[in-house]
Structure 1
Amino acid sequence: MATAPSASNGGLRVAVVGTGYGSAELVRLLLDHPDVGEIRLYTHSRDGEAIDALYPHLAGFLDVSLRAYDPGEVASVDVSFFATPHGASAELIPPVLELGGRVIDLSGDFRLKDGSAYEAWYGRPAAPATWRENAVYGLADVYGDAVRGARLVANPGCYPTAALLALIPLLRAEAIEPEGIVLDGKSGVSGAGRGVSLGVHFSEVNENLRAYKVGRHQHVPEIEAEAARWAGGPVRVTFVPHLVPMTRGILMTVYARWRGAPTDTEGLVDLYRKAYGGKPFVRVLPPGRQPETKHVAGTNLADIGAVFDGRTNTAIVTVAIDNLVKGAAGQAVQNMNLLFGRPETLGLRRVPLFP
C-alpha cells in the first residue's frame, strides 16, 4: 500500500479550481473540515472577485478573493480539487501533476483508461495517456485502499456512483447476468451544472419530467468499465437518465436478471449488508423499505434498498444519493481523507436535511 502523504503544518492547504455548483459544495464541506487550514479558489475569468460576490451564501464564512489560475500555485498546496468542465481538466491538470501536485478531479477526463472510448462518448480529445492510465478511480466505498497515497484521483460521476454501488456486490458474487442490465436514473436539476440553458430554464423544468441523452449518456462507458472489473468480462447496460424538477438528488433503480443460487428479498438485502458492513456512508435498508432522495439530502450517504422479484427472476436495487455531495464534492472530500490517512468520515458526518 502506498504511504499517505503528509500535510503541511497548520492543517491542509487546499485549492478549488472552478466556479460551478461542485466548487460551491466543496467549499461548504471544506469550511467544516477540522483538518483544513487554508482554502484557495482559482478561476480563469473572475480574478480578484470576492468569494461572496460569486457565492453570496458564503458571506461571513470565507473572506477570500478568487485567484487567477496558476498551475505552480495550485501545485504548491497539499491537494487541489478540479471542479472544471470535461475537457478543461484534461488540459489544466497535467501541468499541476508534473510540478508534483496532488489532484482530485471531479470531471470525467481521467475516469476512463480507454482514450478511444472517452473520445467516442465525450466528443473531445482524451487526456494524456500517462496520467489517464495511472489515475485511481475514486469510488471511495469500494476502492478506498487504492486512493491512499495516490497522485491523481478520478472522482466518479454522480450516476456511476449510484449504479456501481448497486452493481458491484451482485457482480462480485456472480449473482446476475452481465448482459441486459437496465439502469433507470433520475436526477435533480443541479446535476446539469450552473450554466444557463433552455433545458434547465424554470419554465421548462417545473412540473415536468423528461428523459435525456437516451442511449448516449457519457456515463455509460464509465459504468461498464468499472462493472467489468468485477464481472471478469464485458458488462452491457441500458441506461436512461431523467431530469426531475427538484434541486438535489439522484434515485437510481437497477434491474438485473438473476443467475445465482435461489434467493428472496431477505437474501438479496443480506448480500448488500455483507458487502457494505463497516462502510460508514452506505446504509442498507431493511426489506420493505425503499430509498428516498429526501433522506440523504445534503449528506455523503448512499441509501440502498433491494427487492427480489421471483416471478421474473430479477434483482431490483434502488440507490438514493445527493448528486452534489456523494455524487461529487462529498465523495471528493472522502477521497481527500483517504489520501491523507484521515478517518473517512472526518468533516462529513452530517444529519440529512429534513423535511
Structure 2
Amino acid sequence: MVNVGILGATGYTALELMRIIVNHPEVELTALTSRQEGSPHVSAVHPSLTGRIDIRCEDLKPREVAERAQYVFCALPHAASMAVVPEYIAAGCKVIDLSADYRLNDPAVYAQWYGHVHTDPTRLGSTPYGLPELFADRIRSADLVANPGCYTSTSILALAPALCAGLVEPQGIIIDAKSGVSGAGRTPKLGTLYAECNESFSAYSVGTHRHMPEIEQVLTQASGKSVEVLFTPHLVPMDRGILATIYAKPTRAVTQEELLAEYRRFYIGKPFIRVVDHLPTTKDSAYTNFCDMTVRVVKGRVLIVACLDNLIKGASGVAVQNLNLMAGFPETMGLLPCGR
C-alpha cells in the first residue's frame, strides 16, 4: 500500500485521478492541495465524490504533503508545476507531473512555446516521458515522470509503430485531431462556454499548438528519425474524447494487412492498446484507459485513425499507469476493468 497526494485538486484531471484511486487496491489518497479558502471538503469541490472520499482540500506546503504521501500527482498548470516539483523531490516524494513543464528536452524550445523561462532546466532531457508503451523501463526507476498530454498520446501512439518500422516517411505527416471540451480544463473560458461551442465545430491554434514540438520530439526519440508533423487541433461540442486522423506517405508499397500486422506486433503485451479492424469511435474508448487505432491504405497514402478518452488515457489513467510502474505494481492495477 502506498500513500499519494494530488496537487491542484479542483480540476477535471484531479477528479478522474480520485475516481481511479478510490478503486485502486494498493493506493490510499492522503493529501489534496488547493488554494481555495476554508479547506473545503472534496465533495464540495467535486459533488460526484460525495460518500466516496472523506478528505479536505488544503493549502499544504511540500514538506506537509511529503509527511503524508510517498507519491504525488502534480495537476498544476504549466509554469506553476516547475516552481514546486523540485521541493517535492527534495522532500522525498516521487512525482508524476501532468503539466507540460518537463516534457520538452530543450529549455529554449519550452520558452518559445510556453512563454516562460524554465526554472528547473537541469531536469529537462533527463526526465522520462510518461508513455509506458514506449518508455516503461525508464519510468520504473524514475523519481519524476513527465506525464503526456491527450493530443500527444493519441498522435504518438498512432504513429510510433509505422515510424519505428520504417513504413512511413518521417516528414510531411498530417495530424488532424479533434477533442471534446473537457480538454480545455475546468477554468471558464469564452470559447468553451456552452453558448459559444455548442452546435459548432472549429479549428484552433493552427500551426501554433504547443503539442506540435512535443509530438515531433518524442517520435524522433522513439524512431531514431527526424520527424516533422503538421498538427491541427479542433474543438468538438462533446464532453470528452479525442479522435485523430493521420496521413503519412509510405516508404514503399505496403498493404493494409501488413500495417495492421505490424501494429499488433509492436503492441504485443501492451494491455491498453487495441489495434482493431473497424474504424474506432470516441464512444468505444470513453471512460476507459484504452487507446483504439486502425490503419488504412488510401490512394497510396497511409491513413491512421486513433482515439482515446482525453481525461483518462490522455491524462489521469496513464498517470496511474506510471504510478503502478514506479511502485512495482502490475501496470493494469486499478485500471481494469474500466469503463463507465
Q: Which range, TM-score by smaller chain?
A: over 0.9
Separation of aligned partners in 2, 1:71 and 1:257 = 49
Q: What's 2:75 paired with?
A: 83
Q: 1:315 matched to which residue of 2?
A: 302
Normalising by structure 1, report the TM-score: 0.93
CA contact (8 A) 2:289 2:335 kept: yes
Determine which of 8, 12, 15 is the counterpart of 2:2. Answer: 12
Q: SS in structure 2 opposite 1:52?
A: helix
Match of 2:258 in 1: 267
1:105 aligns with 2:94: no
Deviations 1:270-303, CA, capped at 9 Å, x for gaps: 11010111211000002xx111100111110000
Note if 1:326 corresponds to 2:313: yes
Q: Deviations over 1:134-183 (max 9, x none)?
A: 21101111111111021000001110100000111111111111110000
State the identity as a percent.
Answer: 43
The answer to whether residue 138 in structure 2 is matched with residue 146 in structure 1 is yes
> Is the aligned partner of 1:298 residue 2:290?
no
Q: Gaps (5+ residues) in structure 1?
A: 1-10
Give me the CA root mean square deviation. 1.2
- Counterpart mapping for 1:164-313 below 5 A: 164-260=156-252, 262-286=253-277, 289-309=278-298, 311=299, 313=300
SS in 2 for 1:350: coil
| Partner secondary structure for residue 124 of structure 2 | helix
Q: How many pairs does the alignment contain?
A: 338
* Partner of residue 6, structure 1: none
Segment drifting more, 82-91 vs 44-53 = 44-53
Residues 1:217 and 1:47: Cα distance change in structure 2 (over 3 Å): farther
Amino acid aligned to 2:295:
A
Residue in structure 2 matching 1:118, options 110, 120, 127: 110
C-alpha deviation, 1:45, in angstroms: 2.9
Q: Which residue of 1 aligns with 2:36?
A: 45
Post-superposition offset of 1:244: 0.2
Amino acid at match of 2:303: I
Task: Pick from 131, 134, 137 the counterpart of residue 126 of structure 2.
Answer: 134
Deviations 1:236-259 (A, max 9, x none): 110000000000100011111000
Q: How far did residue 339 of structure 1 move? A: 0.6
Contact 1:42–1:69 (8 Å) recurs in 2: yes
Q: Secondary structure, in 3 states, of the residue corresponding to 1:134?
A: coil
5, 8, 17: which one aligns with 1:26: 17
How far has the Cα of 1:124 moved from its partner?
A: 1.3
- In the alignment, is residue 68 of structure 1 matched against residue 55 of structure 2? no
Contact residue 330 and residue 348 of structure 1 kept, 8 A: yes
SS in 2 for 1:183: strand
**C-alpha separation between the residues in 2 aligned to 1:253 and 1:46?**
44
TM-score (norm 2): 0.97
Quote the offset at 1:351 in angstroms: 4.2
Three-state SS of the structure 1 residue aligned to 2:125 is helix
Counterpart AA for 2:232: V
The residue that corresponds to 1:5 in the other structure is: none
- Unpaired runs of at least 5, structure 2: none
**Alpha-carbon distance in 2 for matches of 1:291, 1:227:** 23
In 2: Cα distance, 1:55 partner to 1:196 partner: 16
Contact 1:94 1:131 in 2 (8 A): no
**Conserved? CA contact 2:82–2:120, under 8 Å:** yes
DSSP-derived class of the 1:196 partner: coil
Matched, 1:57 2:48: yes
Quick one: which amino acid aligns to residue 34 of structure 1? Answer: P
